[in-house]
Amino acid sequence: MQKTQLENLTIAVVGGGYGGAVAAVALRQLGADVHVYEQAPAIRQVGAGIGLRPPTIELFRRLGIFDAIAAVSSPSDYFEICTATGEVLHREPWPKMHDYAEVNHTRFIHRGDFIEALLRLLPDEVVHLDHRLTDIEDRGGSATLTFAGGKTVTADLVIGADGIRSAVRNQLFSDREPVFSGEHAHRTVISVDDTYGMAVDDNLRLYMNDKGTMVYFLPLRHRHQVSFDITALSRDASWAPEVTREGLVALLEDFDERLVNITRNLDLNAVTSRAVFDIDPVDTWHSDRVALLGDAAHAMLHHQGQGANQAIQDAGGLADALVEADSVAEALALYQARRKPDTDELQRISRKSWDADAVDTAFPEKSAIN
């Protein structure tokens, strides 16, 4: 699209998570009038740590926001997969780390720090909190949003970046419910001082047994902390299951005693426990004026660490498509054509989880996606 077309474009982003925030940053750089509508009344420090992969870091360099992210993250060289007692099964450098003009390490960041850093890149007046979407009307040449309380917004382009339970997706594209994986994830952040010497460097380690229990140990050195995640099999599909200290410790009965002790000493008030869900691939992500992005389009399980990364790649891909295409409708079709094959494959791979008896690579997606 021509520069003047982009500058006259009004865009409403539903959802202020990673993908929505990066989309807003990228689209504002094109000159568009972008506003973000987030249902939460405040931005809080929630969740634990994630890894931002080299292609994501390269996109941040392109957007000129690398320094803002680097200031609240730590670089990592490799991913190590271990038995429950710490025997190394496989160690592998992060894919694509050396594929760019500058070395792009995977960077570990706390989810809350990440969102805050992204939203600081946007003027206060374009981020609207406490806006819960209740209705969307696709009019072909525009789309109108209605929020709780009755406020309406009409935009030339609406981006549904509103997560796994997306109202935009459910109303316009697919009403299929999220799919329970048969797992629970229990996540928190602890001090390096409370890891019994296990925080030895800046690299991710996965410890797992043959019963389907996994511990993700992700250092956040810049915080002097570690993100600690126990993922285990469960038949309970409650969105936020209740847990006890005894129950968590029992999950790790055959693990390294240091991991057991870490679990025994956790502050349960700081542990977030969730049943793990994804969605089946959505056939169509867009109309002429509305597009899905991130988990709204392709929520995937966390085993490959790709959920946030793919949402961010969506944002960059959508911005690129708008520049290249002659119209919004053409851009949205191009965006889906480029992004959907990769995310479909990553959804499939992520459902495979890990098998302690068959670890050939730490990154099964690297030969299957761009």
Burial class (CB in 10 A: 0-12, 13-18, 19+), 144: middle
CA atoms lying within 13 Å on the CB side of residue 339: 31
Task: State the Cα angle at 66 between 344 and 302, rounded to 5°.
Answer: 30
pLDDT score recorded for residue 369: 60
Secondary structure class of 317 (helix, strand, coil): helix
pLDDT score for 357: 67
- Per residue in 14-49, pLDDT (tens digit) is 999 999 999 999 999 999 999 999 999 987 767 799
Domains and CATH numbers, the chain: 1-42+129-178+280-370 (3.50.50.60), 52-110+181-278 (3.30.9.30)
pLDDT at 308 over 90: yes
- The two structure tokens encoding residue 228: 């600690």
pLDDT beyond 90 at 352: no
**Can you tell me the distance from the alpha carbon of 258 to that of 262, in angstroms, rounded to the nearest whole number?**
6
Residue-level pLDDT at 90:
92
Average pLDDT for residues 124-143, to the nearest whole number? Answer: 96
Cα–Cα distance, 13 to 319 (Å, whole number)? 13
* Cα–Cα distances in angstroms (integers) from residue 114 to residues 63, 118, 159, in the given order: 16, 6, 20
CA dist., res. 363 & res. 92, Å (int): 8
What are the start-end ranges of the E strands in 53-115?
73-76, 78-83, 88-93, 106-110
8 Å CB contact between 165 and 172: no
Q: What is the pLDDT of residue 285?
A: 97
